[in-house]
A and B are shown apart, each in its own frame.
Chain A
Amino acid sequence: MRPVDKKDQSAVYQRVVLKNASPYHYMKVCLVLEDESTRLSAVELKQFIITGLKNLYGEVGAALTFDLLKYNEDTLTALLRVYSRGLVKLWSSLTLLGSYQNQACAFRVLQVSPFLLALTGNSRELQLD
């Protein structure tokens, strides 16, 4: 970094970059099913994601620990937490999960962030009145 003159200090622009700042990554996902009236409980959803991990990554993948922090049963929206090393495995297995009990389904990933606070606001759902 270049040394800064004392009289320039107020005008200096500083950019702080955090690498691997948080051990966890948080994902907000929404499950879209063919039959829109089916409801899953939290346990069923976690079991479903674990079967997806098991199909793609085997026993080792199914042992990947992730947590279901919040779940809204009516909209099937969930907040998942996973260790940063396991994010790629979890996200790819969510992408490739195609069917739930013989009906077609898809996981829509709405937000991903290493900080939980960042998931509170979403510029896509921003209402400007």
Chain B
Amino acid sequence: MVRVKSRYLLCELVVSDRSRLLLLDDRAIALAVKAAVARTHGDYGAALCSVGFSVKYLNAHTGIVFLRLPKRCYRLLWSALPFITSVETRGQRIPCFLNCLHVGGTIRTCQKFLIRYNAQQLHRMLPKCKNEEEKQQVRQAILSCSLTRGNNEALEDELGGEEEDEEE
């Protein structure tokens, strides 16, 4: 009843060049989001972004970002995300865009959604597999989808690895 509520935005960072994705870190993303909000919503938006906003999780292999936003203004800050065209890190400018997949009230619900989403992506990849070995790997990954500690990271790393195979 007196809990502080927030909204967690599950976004996917889409870049044209996957290798450059590995250079990103959460501070660069936070800066990019704050700059976009300041441009779109001015001083008012910058002030809203200063208190409750943070980047909770970033997976450089798959480009999944969890953003924590305060509940009373998450829609305003969400509306500024499509205006992000590039993220600047270590002197390099990486053109990208943020694709929002899910909004959840807690990190746990976002994790559950992410697992279901990854399983759907794997299902979609299965008919596109070129040889039997890859098919076996994908089936293995689908069967091992579950919400347990340590499994999450393994699942996402495998997904990242298999997406690289597909793109070749």
Contacts and interface: CB of A to CB of B under 8 A. Distances in A.
A56 B42 CA distance: 5
Nearest to B83: A59
B75 interface: no
Contacts of B40: 58-60
A95 to B, nearest CB: 13
A61 B39 CA distance: 11
Interface string B32-62: 0000001111111100000000000000000
Interface of A is mostly: helix
Nearest to B38: A58
A22 interface: no
B125 to A, nearest CB: 39
A53 to B, nearest CB: 8
A56 B44 contact: yes
Interface in A4-27: none
Contacts, number: 30
Interface in A38-81: 54-61
A14 B79 CA distance: 46
A86 B41 CA distance: 14
Contacts of B79: 60
Q: Which bracket fits the contact residues of A?
A: under 10
A96 to B, nearest CB: 8
A56 B39 contact: no
A59 B39 contact: yes
Contacts of B43: 55-58
A61 B80 CA distance: 13
A60 to B, nearest CB: 6
Contacts of A55: 42-43
B108 to A, nearest CB: 33
Contacts of B39: 58-59
Nearest to B76: A60
A57 B41 CA distance: 5
Nearest to A53: B42
Nearest to B42: A58
Nearest to A54: B42
Interface in A73-118: none
A61 B79 CA distance: 13
5 contacts: A57-B44, A58-B43, A60-B42, A60-B79, A61-B44
Interface of B: 38-45, 79
